[in-house]
Structure 1
C-alpha cells in the first residue's frame, strides 16, 4: 500500500511539474504568465538619453477571462491599458483618458528569455507609421 501511494505521489508530482515549464517557449506562454510588473524601455535609434523607462503593471481583466488590464506609468504620467496574448503575441491598447486609444503596443517573446522579456513596437493612433517606436519590456522581480 505504501509503495502504491508513493508511486501515485511521484506521478502526480511529475504532472504538476510538466504543467509549468521552467523556461516556456512562446507557444507555452499564457496571459497568466504576463501578470505582474514590467519595465519598458525604448530601443530605437530615436531614444533620448536619460529618458525614464515606463513601469507596466498587468493584472487579470476583471470582466474578460484571458485578457489583462493595468496601468502604464512614468513619473506623473499614468495611462490605462488592456492587453491580450494571442498567437504568441501581446497586443496592448493604451489610453490616457480611459475612453480613446492613444497607442497600440505589439510585442513577441524574445527567444531564449523564458517569457521574461518581450520586444515590439508602440504605434501611436494619431500619428503616421513613421512615429512607431521600438521597445523592450522586462519582467521585474
Structure 2
C-alpha cells in the first residue's frame, strides 16, 4: 500500500510540475501578454489624456489636453495650456507619425508639431520638433501623465 501511495505522490508532483510549467508558458505567449504599441501601432485613441510638454529652452512645462475630435473620427482635438493662456489644437497620428497644429487665434495655424512615439514607451512618450512660421524647429518631448482612455470627451476649446 505504501508503494501505491509513493507512486501516486510522484505522479501527482509530476502532474503539478507540468501544469505549472504549462501555465507559466501560456503567460509568456504574445497572445496572453498585453502588447506595448509603438510606431505605426499607436492609434489616436491611445493618445487621449493629459500630457506634459517639455520644450527646449523653456523652464516650465506646458500642459496638453487631447481627446477625440467630434467632427473627424480618428483625429484628436484639445488645448495647449501655458500658464493662464490656452490655445486650441488638433492632432493626428498616422503610420507612427504624430502631427499637431496649434492656433493662437482659433482661426489660423500658428505652429506645427511633428513627432514620433518613442520606441519602448507604449505610446506614452512622443518626441519631435515644433515649427512656428519662418522659424527653425524647436525640440519637444510630450509625456503622457494621465491616460483617460478612448471614451474621454475632448477638452474644451476656448
Q: TM-score range by the shorter chain?
A: 0.7 to 0.9
1:23, distance to aligned residue in structure 2 (A):
1.3
Structure 2 counterpart of 1:42, from 47, 55, 63: 55
Structure 2 counterpart of 1:105, from 113, 116, 135: 113
CA distance in 2, matches of 1:56, 1:25: 21
1:62-98 CA distance string (max 9 Å, x none): 0010110000001012110001111211111000111
Residue number in structure 1 paired with 2:45: 32
**Residues matched between the structures, number:** 117
1:53, distance to aligned residue in structure 2 (A):
0.7
Q: State which structure, 1 or 2, has the greater radius of gyration over its C-alpha atoms.
A: 2
Residues 1:74 and 2:79 aligned together: no
Residue number in structure 2 paired with 1:133: 138
* TM-score computed with the length of structure 1 as normaliser: 0.77
Residues 1:123 and 2:128 aligned together: no
Structure with greater strand share of residues = 1
CA distance in 1, matches of 2:47, 2:38: 13
**Which runs of no fewer than 5 residues in structure 1 stay unpaired?**
1-16
Taking only aligned residues, the RMSD between alpha carbons, in angstroms, comes to 1.9
**Which runs of no fewer than 5 residues in structure 2 stay unpaired?**
1-29, 147-158
* TM-score computed with the length of structure 2 as normaliser: 0.69
Task: Provide runs of 4+ in structure 1 moved above 4 Å.
Answer: none
